[in-house]
Copies of this chain bind each other. A is one copy, B any other.
Amino acid sequence: MTDTQSNAYPSITAIGITGLPEILDGDNLGQMIAEAAQNQGTPLVEGDILVVTQKIVSKAEGMLVSLDTVTPSQFAREYAENADRDPRLIELVLRESQSIVRMDQDRGVLITETKHGFVCANAGIDQSNIPDDDVVCLLPVDPDASARRISSEIQAVAGISPPIIISDTFGRAWREGHVNFAIGVAGMDPLKDYRGTDDANGRILHVTTIAVADELAATAEMITAKAINVPVALIRGMPYQPDAGSTAPLLRERTRDMFR
């Protein structure tokens, strides 16, 4: 466990990383983040965790797709017409998915399981914060690998390889409003296991495995949404369990899931 905390009370600080330019295909995101942190007076230190929004990772990896290049299938065309959506976008959603979880043309809802295993609307494809109206942004092909690469890029310039969470904003079952989830993890265990540990009364806790990577992503959203062009948050003071890291432990196996 790493804990930079020295006060008598626990505390965690989330700091937005500002000053990053528009990210382009091929950019060394790790280096840019480390330098931006340095430039704003909050250089990365041992124990920091970085949460990087999916959009800039996708941009650095060339995951922008012009809709002009997409020929929709008949299935995509028919759904899109009934749902009043762009058939080229629907085609891309289908291509990025391994299964359809819910599809309702009346409401225009298309919730799928992406090839990575994330259950979300429109396979995580979106159009916000992209300069061109006919261009959309796909999720990274392998966000865990993206997270590992960013950590290595930071190691090369800053001498430390912080845990990296790549975050995206999804809806949920049962509740309104979106929150951020971890879609890529490197350098830390995404789950924190309290099973078998004592509670404050010395009783063995029944549950509880906490999805700490998702909670870190949710925390970061509050920072990255506070201002425009703050696509990265640094979380300082949060102990974590070092690990190769992966989102796989966060994804419930289909056979164990009662909600698809």
Contacts and interface: CB of A to CB of B under 8 A. Distances in A.
Contact of A191 (B14, B176, B207, B250): B176
A43 interface: no
Interface in A156-209: 169, 172-181, 190-192, 194, 199-201, 203, 205-209
A119 interface: yes
Contact of A218 (B219, B225, B251): B219
Q: How large is the interface on A (under 10, 10 to 19, 20 to 34, 35 or more residues)?
A: 35 or more
A154 interface: no
Nearest to A132: B201
B173 A250 contact: no
Contacts of A16: 9-11
Contacts of A180: 215
A241 interface: no
Given A128-B205, A251-B176, A210 B10 contact: no
Most B-side CB within 10 Å, residue of A13, A17, A260? A13
B178 A207 contact: yes
11 contacts: A8-B40, A9-B18, A12-B13, A14-B14, A104-B258, A133-B203, A173-B174, A173-B257, A176-B250, A177-B249, A215-B218
Interface of A: 5, 8-18, 40-42, 102, 104, 109, 111, 119, 126-131, 133, 169, 172-181, 190-192, 194, 199-201, 203, 205-212, 214-216, 218-219, 221-223, 225-230, 238-239, 249-252, 257-260
